[in-house]
Amino acid sequence: MNTIKSGKLFTASCLALLVTSLSFGIRAGMMNQLGIDFQLNATQLGTITATAFWGFPLAIVVGGFIVDMIGMKRLLVMAFLFHLTGIVLTIFAQGYWSLFFSTLLIGIANGTVEAACNPLVAALYPEEKTTRLNYFHLWFPGGIVIGTLLVTLFVNLGIGWQFQVATMLIPTVIYGYLFLKLDFPVTERVASGYSNADMYKAVFSPLFLFMFVCMFMTAITELFTGQWISLLLKNVTDNAILLLTITTGIMVVGRAFAKPIVKKLAPQGVLLFSAVFAALGLYLLSTLSGTSVFFAALIFGIGVCYFWPTMIGFVAENIPKSGALGINLLGGAGMFAVSVYTIFMGNFYDGLIVRHLPEGADLQEYRSAAEGSVEATTFAAAMDLAGPEVLQVTLVLPVVLTFAFLGLVWYMRSVKRSQQNIGV
């Protein structure tokens, strides 16, 4: 008797990913307030943000190595406990280090969710992996939309960031309960009978290594920009947080209608399309101002919409012997790259601001200046100039990806032709 309830497992997986994305959306919306409450500079805020990305690759890579042995259910129970602990610790944070460690725990929980849920979705829907992974991953931008809207609402009502973080407890408890009571299938690699030797050979194949490197750039383009957009462009528009809402809203809609697009273009075609639009969107975000910035956010959202799930879907479909390890190594590579890039850009951003301040100016003095003072006005002007410069540096990545995925489309066509010739 088949006791695997695919629909309920998929729903619980979506709720787990919702918690992951809420942590991104709510944190992105409260970054400025954390800086004010705890007197944190951009470098410290960047390090706290990056901490979530450190925990993520650690958990997803470790999970990739052990998920076949201990099963997806045990991993997801661990994710629930990490989420619960990290959220509670964040609510009662007292400064930099408590925020650092609580964010690290949430990052580990987020990585553990992906380590188990990506192979779970692939195992539940083997005939439409890329499409179902897009459906699953629409809850990442979906949660960011919900999180940023909650932040906006709570700020307008005068409700503190601690209560914003506490809203994550609701879906956390629900997904923990569901996973505890449901039966799980084995991973697809185990079900297919591929050996460990087959798996390790697959993750060292040239095609996998190419996708591994590309994942650095797709993840940074999507996630770094998403996390920092409200901070980088807050002086370019009065509603910078809504830029993130627009971008992620487009991602939700796009992923919901992924099936015909994936069928028409194939995963590699979707990735090429994404790189072109992401490059155009970043260019527009770094050059436009006022209400036209929202159009730029729309273009950028279209660009990054399919990056993450389609990268994973491509590997699951075209390098199936890599199994859960391949999927999770890819996700870990992306998050690790974002963590390193975020720290680097936090320092770079501070340096740009200093460059646009009067010579010899003290950054912290200008940052904490009273609103309406000459120093505060000068600091705002410096941020106005520095934010778009950070985006212009990041723009290099989707430009490189455009050429890389053009090559991937050509390569996959040649593979298909060779297979057809062999078939004849």
Span 20-37, average pLDDT? 78
pLDDT tens digits, 42-75 = 778 878 877 877 788 889 889 989 998 899 999 9
Q: CA 252, CA 9: separation in Å to the nearest integer?
A: 20
Q: Where in the chain are the domains?
A: 8-423
**What is the spatial distance between Cα 302 and Cα 294, in angstroms, rounded to a whole number?**
13
**Which string of DSSP letters, residue by residue, matches 327-380?**
HHHHHHHHHHHHHHHHHHHHHHHHHHHHHTSPTT--HHHHHTPPTTSHHHHHHH
pLDDT at position 354 = 86
* CATH level 2 (architecture), domain 8-423: Up-down Bundle (1.20)
Contacts of 168 (CB under 8 A, 6+ apart): 19, 22, 23, 26, 83, 87
Which tens digit of pLDDT belongs to each residue from 205-224?
Answer: 999 999 999 999 999 999 88
Percent of the chain clearing pLDDT 70 (strictly above): 95
Give me the pLDDT at residue 231, please. Answer: 64
* CB-count burial class (<10 Å; 0-12, 13-18, 19+) for 265: middle
Q: Give CA–CA dist 125/375, Å, rounded.
A: 58
Computed over every residue of the chain, the mean pLDDT equals 87
Encode 361-395: b = buried (16+ Cβ within 10 Å), e = exposed: eebeebbebeeeeebeebbeebbbebbbbbbeebb
The pTM (predicted TM-score) of the whole model is 0.83
* Residue with the two structure tokens 């410069």: 389
Sorted by sequence, the CB contacts under 8 Å of residue 302 that are 6+ apart come out as 250, 254, 277, 281
Q: Residue 230: is its pLDDT beyond 50?
A: yes
Which parts of 179-273 are beta strand (E)? Answer: none
For the stretch 70-96, pLDDT in tens is 999 999 999 999 999 999 999 988 888
The per-residue pLDDT for 49 is: 77
Q: Report whether pLDDT(238) > 70.
A: no
**Segment 322-367, tens digit of pLDDT:** 999 999 999 889 988 988 898 888 888 888 888 888 887 777 788 7
In whole angstroms, what is the distance from residue 354 CA to residue 361 CA? 7
Q: Check residue 131 and give its pLDDT.
A: 93
